[in-house]
Amino acid sequence: MPIANLATWLQLIAQLEPEAAALIIALLGKLTGQTAANIATMDADPVWQAIAAKAQAEIDKTPK
Amino acid sequence: MRTKKILLPLVVSVCLFFSGCTAKQIAEVSAKLAIAVQGFQNIEVTLHDGGKISNAEHIAIQQGLLKFSAAGIALDAGLVAGDSKTSLAGKVLAFADSFTNLNAATFNVKDANSQAEFQIAMASMKVLVDSLAGLVK
């Protein structure tokens, strides 16, 4: 988020009652925090899934 | 009252900023580790297909990889679900345990060259596993 936008958000939030401000920030933080983690996780999870699938296939096809 | 109005949102923002960063950092390390593990898996399969790794060794390593990847999937699911730092720490611990199992399986490989290659790969993966543990401390 650009600093100018962050400053604007903080100014707007500072006008609110503390409880309302905390609630809005908590919701925004939850959304943005999860989005950041989700974006990075989207890259990792299919790779972990592929490793698991290949490992299982190798175990199944290898003579015991 | 005015100070309280400004300070409360700021304190909440800073706390959320740092908690969000940790989740993002864990997800990034998990992504790097997944790529490294996939590379290791491909090399192991090639060595097995080339006759350097026995069937028993191959199965033990692939079983280790199966557990390790399951721990990676669980960790990523925790990140997506927005798990608490404590819950993520538990998942990272399970991740580290499964890494120890995988590492033990590579130590049992009899072919010296293959084992040397594996130990280099394991050392790089350990750096990433340790870094994950450091993020949830």
And the tokens for A47? 């790779």
Q: Is 50 exceeded by the pLDDT of residue B18?
A: no
Range with the largest mean pLDDT of A6-10, B2-6, B45-49: B45-49
What confidence score (pLDDT) does residue A39 get? 55
DSSP-based three-state secondary structure for A9: helix
pTM above 0.80, yes or no: no
In chain B, where the domains are located: 25-135
3-state secondary structure B48-60: HHCCCCCHHHHHH
- pLDDT tens sequence across B74-118: 998 888 888 888 898 999 999 899 999 999 999 999 999 999 989
And the tokens for A4? 């100018």
* A54 part of contact set with chain B, CB < 8 Å: yes
What confidence score (pLDDT) does residue B51 get? 96
* A22 part of contact set with chain B, CB < 8 Å: yes
CA–CA min distance A4, chain B (Å): 16
Contact B8, A18 (CB under 8 A): yes
Beta-carbon separation of B41 and A55 below 8 A: yes
ipTM: 0.83
Domain B25-135, CATH number (from 1.20.1300, 3.30.70, 3.30.160, 1.20.120): 1.20.120
Nearest chain B residue (CA) to A18: B5
